[in-house]
């Protein structure tokens, strides 16, 4: 049974290769799969995250809510990473086609939210190099708006919508497009003022990302759980926002740590 504990902001950072409207549900399912495979009971989960300093009794008390969250609300934000180069791109920049696919995925994710399905509350686009980030942002935004405007003419599976706001995530200094540039993009596409909102990426670190092969390695998965939980605790103690979730294993550790902290 679900408890009434508050849900902090949990952000997925998703590369172009995984940019589709099912990414939240898929990552939640993968996180549940890792949990079932490598920590099927309270004792094994408590042992996995003990190096982070989470008490075994506290971990055991929130496992039911952890599974509930991974099924029903795995993430409150999804950031599509326009800074990540697609496989095989020697230029190291997100191509216009990949950025457009990201825009389509963002619109369809917003469409899922309209239909009451599992979807994030907020969407964002993470920019890359100042020299290419603006071009990728324009391509993604054009595809997002075009997909949303299809409205009732789109098949149900392709239904898109405009999110209430779109975050423009800046990973570091020097990459911000600036308020004037964002306002110009809004005007050019008939969007309301302030619809594009600049957001700085949290400075806190995340645990390493597991490869597909490592997901089958219990020691590797449990090590990432413990490391990510430790980093979340460190960020909270320093008054910082925890880092983004870059892998489904991060979702397990993040939600678990937040639940233990909320339980006191």
| Domain ranges within the chain, ordered by starting residue | 11-74+204-243+245-263, 77-200
pTM of structure: 0.88
Select from 21, 24, 23 the least CA-distant residue to 109.
21
Q: What is the pLDDT along the chain (264 residues), one digit of tens a residue?
A: 333 444 578 999 998 889 998 999 999 999 999 999 999 999 999 999 999 999 999 999 999 999 999 999 999 999 999 887 555 554 545 588 889 999 999 999 998 887 778 777 899 999 876 655 678 899 999 999 999 887 545 555 557 888 999 999 987 766 667 889 999 999 999 999 999 999 989 999 999 999 999 999 999 999 999 999 999 999 999 999 999 999 999 999 999 999 999 998
């Amino acid at each position: 049974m679900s408890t009434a504990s508050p849900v902090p902001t949990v952000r997925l950072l998703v590369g172009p290769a995984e940019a589709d409207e099912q990414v939240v549900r898929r990552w939640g399912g993968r996180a549940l799969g890792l949990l079932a495979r490598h920590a099927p009971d309270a004792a094994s989960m408590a042992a996995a995250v003990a190096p982070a300093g989470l008490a075994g009794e506290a971990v055991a008390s929130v496992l039911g809510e952890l599974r509930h969250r991974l099924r029903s609300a795995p993430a409150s934000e999804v950031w599509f990473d326009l800074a990540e180069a697609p496989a095989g791109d020697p230029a190291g920049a997100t191509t216009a086609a990949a950025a457009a696919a990201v825009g389509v995925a963002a619109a369809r994710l917003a469409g899922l939210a309209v239909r009451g399905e599992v979807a994030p509350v907020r969407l964002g686009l993470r920019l890359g190099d100042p020299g290419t980030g603006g071009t990728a942002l324009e391509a993604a935004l054009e595809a997002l708006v075009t997909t949303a405007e299809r409205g009732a003419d789109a098949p149900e599976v392709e239904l898109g919508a405009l999110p209430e706001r779109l975050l423009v995530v800046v990973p570091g200094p020097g990459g911000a497009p600036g308020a004037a540039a964002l306002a110009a993009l809004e005007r050019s596409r008939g969007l309301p003022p302030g619809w594009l909102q600049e957001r700085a990426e949290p400075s806190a670190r995340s645990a390493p990302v597991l490869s597909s092969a490592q997901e089958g390695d219990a020691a590797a998965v449990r090590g990432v759980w413990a490391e990510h939980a430790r980093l979340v605790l460190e960020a909270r103690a320093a008054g910082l926002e925890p880092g983004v979730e870059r892998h489904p294993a991060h979702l397990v550790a993040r939600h678990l740590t937040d639940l233990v902290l909320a339980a006191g």
